[in-house]
Amino acid sequence: MATIRTERPGSVGADVVEQYRRDGFVHIPGVLGADEVAAYRAAAEDAYHHLTAFNAEDDAVFKQVLQLWRADPRLRPLTFHDGLARIATQLAGVPLRLWHDQLLIKKPHNGAATEFHQDAPYWPHSGSRHQLSAWIALVDVPVERGCMSFIPGSHDHRDVRAVDLHDRTDFFSAAPDLTYQPRVTVPLRAGDCTFHNGHLAHTANPNDTDEFRYAFVTIYVDAQTRYDGRPHPCTDGLGIPVGAMLPDEEFPLLPRPAR
């Protein structure tokens, strides 16, 4: 797979957009500089110790902390990173808003992969023309530390159910025709990111190293996305009417308008 370099912060070439739309993912190296990586990693380490996980404490796969843009002023600028949001908009081809952000932290020797799944089936969205995630490495993430693998082109599968992330076989029971499709594994340096389509099949290896794996994920959705009424931790309790657009205060438009 070709390594993509950004032409300037917040912009990629037409070839990158074409690659993303064909494969459903793209690797963009060096979106964060060393100083930014160090600052965001330190904040992520604190979040690991001090913030409550959304998932169960004993979940071996990872610790998942949601909505850092609200919980941690040090991580908020990463969620709102202008260059990332502009690249995301170029890739998606439609105006975007934040769906949510998250830290996904795999402990050393966690012994558990994040099993194959697509993201979009978990989300209570209707009418969304595009959903995509920026998965940002805050440490070096070689294969052994839990980098991701993707099934290129699998984002054409739009009707696969939500699966059990702990079950190695569940996704392929739901989408058996993808079982023998080639997979592309993408190790990342700290400060690199991948963008992946919300319907792309992907997995992440277990962390077999002595270091934590810190990944920060910003998830963008079509700004015109409507709420379909299903439960989700990011919409529960907000009183959003079924069929209404996601409200700007809770799901800000990105990139942020210039002040």
Ligand X SMILES: O=C(O)CCC(=O)C(=O)O
Using CB under 6 A, list all residues that contact ligand X. 62, 104, 114, 119, 133, 135, 146, 202, 204, 215, 217
Residue placing its CB nearer to ligand X in the complex, 172 or 247: 172
| Residues facing 197 on adjacent strands | 132
Q: For the purposes of burial, counting CB atoms within 10 Å of the CB of 176, is it exposed (0-12), middle (13-18) or buried (19 or more)?
A: exposed
Q: How far is the CB of 135 from ligand X (least distance, A)?
A: 5
Residue placing its CB nearer to ligand X in the complex, 26 or 215: 215
Residue placing its CB nearer to ligand X in the complex, 217 or 246: 217
Cβ neighbour number for residue 257 with a 10 Å cutoff:
7
DSSP-derived secondary structure letter, 15: H
Helix, strand, or coil (residue 144): helix
Q: How far is the CB of 255 from ligand X (least distance, A)?
A: 20
Residue 71 CA: distances (Å) to CA of 26, 115, 138, 212, 228: 29, 28, 18, 21, 26
Residue placing its CB nearer to ligand X in the complex, 219 or 240: 219
Q: How far is the CB of 62 from ligand X (least distance, A)?
A: 5
Residue placing its CB nearer to ligand X in the complex, 122 or 245: 122
Query: 241-249 long-range CB contacts below 8 Å, 24 or more apart?
Result: 243/126, 246/97, 246/99, 246/221, 248/97
The residue count of the chain comes to: 259
Q: How far is the CB of 61 from ligand X (least distance, A)?
A: 7
Q: How far is the CB of 146 from ligand X (least distance, A)?
A: 6
Q: How far is the CB of 204 from ligand X (least distance, A)?
A: 3
> CA 137 to CA 206: how far, in whole Å?
15
Residue placing its CB nearer to ligand X in the complex, 216 or 227: 216
> CA 98 to CA 219: how far, in whole Å?
6
